[in-house]
Copies of this chain bind each other. A is one copy, B any other.
Amino acid sequence: MQEPTYLVLVALGEKPLHGYGIMKAVETLSDGRVKIGAGTLYAALDRLAELDQVELDREETEGGRVRRYYRLTRTGRQVLAEETAVRSRYVARALAILEGKG
């Protein structure tokens, strides 16, 4: 799983968000480093929905603009947990190596 997709899962892990909200959340989460474009985001959302990792939470209409909220499914949360565990392992290993070498 690539970084943008992972960050979408992390963002949705906290609470349901709509597309634009996810973009902003990922930007904040990454200290402004990662800006997910619309193309990447909606493609990822479609893909994750197909994989039963996210699903439509609700739709809100505000000032003529529709907001489509998505949430993690149980599967999605599991995938997030597994993906995080694996990444955690790599990071721990890398930190040990980097510290050891000074």
Contact = CB atoms under 8 A, between A and B. Distances in A.
Interface of A: 1-3, 6-7, 10, 13-14, 29-31, 33, 77, 80-81, 84, 86-91, 93-95, 97-98, 101
**Chain A binding surface SS class:** helix
Contacts of A29: 90, 93
B95 A88 contact: yes
A90 B90 contact: no
A12 to B, nearest CB: 10
A17 B29 CA distance: 35
18 contacts: A2-B2, A2-B3, A7-B90, A10-B93, A10-B97, A13-B94, A14-B97, A29-B93, A30-B86, A30-B90, A77-B98, A81-B98, A84-B91, A84-B95, A84-B98, A87-B90, A88-B91, A88-B95
